[in-house]
Structure 1
């Protein structure tokens, strides 16, 4: 049984009229910014991430973008990162194209030397008219591999506890 007294109605009326005033005060700081100011966590570090990145490479530019994303992920302590590169941009890593894309490839070499495991999609390699022997190894200690295909490899790493992310450069 609910008893509504005049005092309770008065208190409820005060509370309800105070809500719009409180939200107006919070919004006055930021003009028209709904919700006020974002909470700043941009320097937060996560530890022991296990990530498999599916890099959908349309061009050399997208493989360069993927290296930037991978480096940012790797900056978190204890990160284990596997990158599977697929799509027409795979030709960036063909030995015959090294001089044309040296800067991009050298960024991937640095990532491989830091422990990033890099795989080339075997279907993309074949689709580009290349063979595994045509591909750059990136690192003698941690060589890139040509896998049987991106999707089976992604599923395999997910079954091992890696969290998948998909990276694609949206080109104009």
Structure 2
């Protein structure tokens, strides 16, 4: 019986240790909590995280067509948030976290087209309330996602302004629906 208990404890410990790799997950799989811990430890910066996502977008999005616009100030905003953290030591709830928003949500820095040619050159004067709240929480709006024109398709993600979004797991398929750009991203 004692041998059985020792073997059981040994295998439990072995199982636990095999799950504890100590490896940092890839940046695109980081949780907000993991990113914030890395920011505080100085092993990651918001600027580095944003740059990693921009590189990933450059690598994968040409085949997917999931994004319509990128925020040209994203790296600048990330640097400012890194400086804020260094100065205050305080992390806001979404501090330095890059986000993609659907192209029917107003953003003052980028066009909001809702996938329609009629709004192709529309740049809102101010951010939507939800964007204001996200920014107040420290989020960085990295870009806008493609969508079905006027959000009017439950099956396809096609817009007059940006074309069709493709499924990242099978580019012969669509990610479906008006939020397919978000799904593909």
Pairwise same-fold verdict (TM > 0.5) = no
How high is the TM-score relative to the length of structure 2?
A: 0.28
Q: Which has the higher contact order (CA 8 A, sep 6+)?
A: 1
- The structure whose Rg is larger is 1
TM-score for the superposition, normalised by structure 1: 0.30
Greater share of strand? 1
